Amino acid sequence: MGKNLYDKVFEKHAVRKLDSGQYQLLMGLHLIHEVTSPQAFSMLRERKLNVPYPERTFATCDHIIPTHSQLRPFKDDLAEQMLVELEKNCAEFGIRYLSPKSGEQGIVHVVGPELGLTQPGMTVCCGDSHTSTHGAFGAIAFGIGTTQVRDVLATQTLAMDKLKVRRIEVNGKLRPGVYAKDVVLYVIQQLGVQGGVGYAYEFAGDVFDRFTMEERMTVCNMSIEGGARCGYVNPDATTYKFLEGREYSPKGAAWATAVAYWDSIKSDADAHYDDVVKYRAEDIEPMVTWGITPAQSTAVNAPLPAADSYPSHEQPLINEAYQYMGFQERNKLVGQKIDVAFIGSCTNGRFSDFEEVVKYLKQSGKKVQAGVRALVVPGSQKVRERLIEAGYDKVFTEAGFEFREAGCSMCLAMNPDKLQGRELCASSSNRNFKGRQGSPTGRTLLMSPVMVAAAAVSGKVADAREVFAIRS
């Protein structure tokens, strides 16, 4: 029997099996940012350790950096201190820092692929749960904790358990107005937020074959929200076209050698999987979360589920979600007034995400409803530059959106971009936990960027297919 990509890559990077039963795994690429790295560097200094492979670690700032202005020093003293610490650590240990001055700053999971750092067959780690994004390239990528950041800096290895692999096939053709974000929300709804625990997810089928790299990144980004440690798509011609010519991609004769290797690590036709699930693309509608986990979602026009439709052990969480959100079971979300609209994050902060929204804003001429605070936050400086070159920044501002600098912004709200009080936010980000967007009582509805735009111009949750007359 053949092997899947996860098994091939894991075996190629396994240094040895430890007495604990775990494996010591070599990490090909290590990405760091300003939040989870300071303590790791402090632990290195305490132990008088160096970074033996600084060329395999890259740093940027994204979580705490303000998006309304990036002039230094920041008004937030803690944010300024964290950035100063990152700059110091990178300089001391010889790590390349993608600073705002470089023009390469951005969300860590956006800038890595932009530079061609993320490549098929790699092991990738970062002190951020959404590192699974990089699996879109046929890499095994996962988030790690601060002590593990220290371990990778000091040894370029991690102690890890080997995961099971679940193949998730989505076949058929998505309907107009249904996007990658809807696909992953649907999968999480079906399998649950704990369904992937102990698994790597392999995404496959007609839909993923047709997806762009940006769309694949969106889905892999949220693998962690379904409980999986990582998610990936097998590399193909789409992957190679995206990578060719980027700064860190192989050049010349090395390119052909790399592509041959990348082809070799694809899952075999007769590969073993611990589980296989299949879904029909035609069954997926535009999705909206209604609760406090990404699995608590529904098709936009469907009534909210009754608590008693869930297994008894899940009902307390369902009732908690309804109480927190202020929604009623069996009602619909369509028509629910929103206060904030946010387009951005490592899930949906790439050029194509904004381009799709611009298309419908220009076609419709619609503007953000009075009383709605609407933010557009590019995932990187390079994305922002492309948007400005295309004139898309003007489209957004003329429609009533605030066009910001690059950063995580309102996704995690470790910066000035926060919800206030009980505000309800239509968001293209990845988590809808209690207090996720900066207010302990704030509420988040996850949806695709086009659905966020539809909510912004309607002032309420709306079906983007109706708002923008999406038919093809």
pLDDT, tens digit, 9 for 90 and up, residues 14-61 = 999 999 999 999 999 999 999 999 999 999 999 999 999 999 999 999
Mean pLDDT of 445-452: 98
Pick the CATH number of 5-275 from 3.40.47.10, 3.30.930.10, 1.10.3720.10, 3.30.499.10: 3.30.499.10
With left for phi above 0 and alpha for psi between -120 and 50, is residue 399 left, alpha or beta?
A: alpha
pLDDT digit string (tens) for 115-149? Answer: 999 999 999 999 999 999 999 999 999 999 999 99
The set of residues, in sequence order, having a beta carbon less than 8 Å from that of 389 and lying 6+ positions away, is none
pLDDT digit string (tens) for 232-268? Answer: 999 999 999 999 999 999 999 999 999 999 999 999 9
Sign of the four-CA dihedral 156, 157, 163, 165: positive
Q: Which CATH architecture has domain 289-467?
A: 2-Layer Sandwich (3.30)
With left for phi above 0 and alpha for psi between -120 and 50, is residue 335 left, alpha or beta?
A: left
The whole-angstrom separation of Cα 436 and Cα 291 is: 12
pLDDT for res 142:
96
Mean pLDDT of 177-198: 97
Mean pLDDT of 422-449: 98
pLDDT for res 169:
98
Say yes or no to pLDDT of 402 above 90.
Answer: yes
Mean pLDDT of 136-164: 97
pLDDT for res 472:
73
The whole-angstrom separation of Cα 383 and Cα 297 is: 29
Q: Do domains 5-275 and 289-467 have the same CATH topology?
A: yes
Please classify residue 125 by burial: count the beta carbons closer than 10 Å to its beta carbon, then call 0-12 exposed, 13-18 middle and 19+ buried: buried
pLDDT for res 103:
96
The whole-angstrom separation of Cα 379 and Cα 406 is: 5
- Would you list the domain boundaries of the chain? 5-275, 289-467
pLDDT for res 139:
98
Asked whether the beta carbons of 254 and 243 are under 8 A apart, the reply is no
In this structure, which amino acid lies at residue 78? L
Mean pLDDT of 426-453: 98
Which residues, in sequence order, are bridge partners of residue 29? 124
Give me the percent of the chain exceeding a pLDDT of 90: 99
Say yes or no to pLDDT of 159 above 80.
Answer: yes
Residue 1's pLDDT band, with cuts at 50, 70 and 90, is: confident
